[in-house]
Amino acid sequence: MALLALLLLLGSASASASAPGPQWPLQRVPVVWPQRTEERPAPHFLRPAQLELNSSCGPECHKQAPAPSYWDLRQFLSYETLHSSGQLTETAVGIYGFDADAFYTPPAGRSRHRRQIFGPDGRFSIVGQDFLMNYPFSTAVKLSTGCSGTLVGDRHVLTAAHCVHDGKNYVKGAQRLRVGFLKPRQKETSGGNGTGPGKMKFQWIRVKRTHVPKGWITNTGSANDIGMDYDYALLELKKAHKRRHMKLGISPAAKQLPGKRVQFSGFDNDRPGQLVYRFCEAGDETYDLLYQHCDAQPGASGSGVYARMWNRRRRRWERKVIGIFSGHQWVDLSGTPQEFNVAVRITPLKFAQICYWIKGNYVDCREG
């Protein structure tokens, strides 16, 4: 029954195109354009990646924060680029065609507290080559720093910023960062379906460049109130992979998602060597963050949160990455610790920035 529910949620190839359901909203995409690049001192790469984050700002705190100004946004969307040689550069950006009135207060929802696993564990371990090697599960990858990521281009992986940068400096292993692709062991491919946990392995590809927005880099060594909104990074691989990647999309409001649900796959630490899939109801949200009820453990952070909706222009169903799972977040509220699972939403500005990192131009980034 669990497998049947999983297949129904993913949507079969025979789904009727004549009866579309929830549709991708048409949104105007601004332009985030690099203007000036300067070299910065080389990082230290001393501390290991932190897979759990601490913050003093929860959903209500984020909702009450004032909307950033145009100049604030330019600062937050400026970015650093770490090269595999150890060279570090900082790029200032300009923003064009963005409507400041786009910042809104999303409808209030209910947030879960106190556990990373909410009630019975609702995660599925994906087994069998027929599933693991096919889309969309084949888009999930593992980072050598312990996080997960999602293929969003022929050479590009979307992940969480805290997987490579702790808010103060780049983490240990970020310069020689590798991305792991789950593959069957050669001796196991000829017979059976490879369903055993020991019949898969990772093939690793080195990262050439890493882009991190300045909104995440707080220089305090911890994730601050603003930094949480920018917990994303893009990795460029040294060589192209041969898998189908997932399209990038602008996050709709939670109430517009099919069944108000989101889904993602990652490599949770408590199930080593296994790809873990989950789907759950989206809960509270702010303009930049989506609080949800998905069961997850450290290691899943950096996974791409995605949805499947109808593209009215192309008249077909499409899955798109609409957020990055930031992970399990401790929030200190008046001395009382509370827990949330949170994802960073891909807003129009973030879409424009990430898409430019992938495409190298804004012409191919006009549809989110």
Of the listed ranges 39-43, 118-122, 270-274, 298-302, the least confidently predicted one is 118-122
Q: Which residues contact 191 (CB under 8 A, 6 or more apart)?
A: none
Residue 18, pLDDT above cutoff 60: no
Reported pTM: 0.85
pLDDT band at 51 (very low <50, low <70, confident <90, very high): confident
**What was the pLDDT predicted at 111?**
38
Residue 198, pLDDT above cutoff 90: no
Residue 313 neighbours by CB distance under 10 Å: 9
Of the listed ranges 13-27, 238-252, 298-312, 331-345, the least confidently predicted one is 13-27
| Helices first, then strands: H and E counts in the chain | 5, 18
pLDDT band at 252 (very low <50, low <70, confident <90, very high): very high
- The catalytic site residues sit at 162, 225, 301
| Bigger pLDDT: 23 vs 184 | 23
End-to-end CA distance of the chain: 35
Give the pLDDT confidence of 57-97 residue by residue, as tens digits. 777 777 777 888 899 999 999 999 999 999 999 999 999 99
Find, among 177, 188, 176, 185, the residue nearest to 203 by Cα: 185
Residue 133, pLDDT above cutoff 80: no
Alpha-carbon span 343 to 42, nearest angstrom: 30
pLDDT band at 28 (very low <50, low <70, confident <90, very high): confident
**What was the pLDDT predicted at 66?**
82
Taking residues 164-175, report their average pLDDT. Answer: 93
Architecture of domain 31-101+123-184+198-359: Beta Barrel (2.40)
Residue 110, pLDDT above cutoff 60: no
Token pair for 222? 């911890």
Beta strands in 293-367 (DSSP E): 304-311, 316-333, 336-345
Taking residues 162-191, report their average pLDDT. Answer: 83
Q: Which residues contact 202 (CB under 8 A, 6 or more apart)?
A: 142, 180, 181, 182, 183
Alpha-carbon span 34 to 356, nearest angstrom: 9
Of the listed ranges 122-136, 217-231, 257-271, the least confidently predicted one is 217-231
**Average pLDDT across the chain, whole number:** 82
Taking residues 221-234, report their average pLDDT. Answer: 73
| Bigger pLDDT: 116 vs 252 | 252
**What was the pLDDT predicted at 278?**
86
High-pLDDT (> 70) share of the chain, %: 77
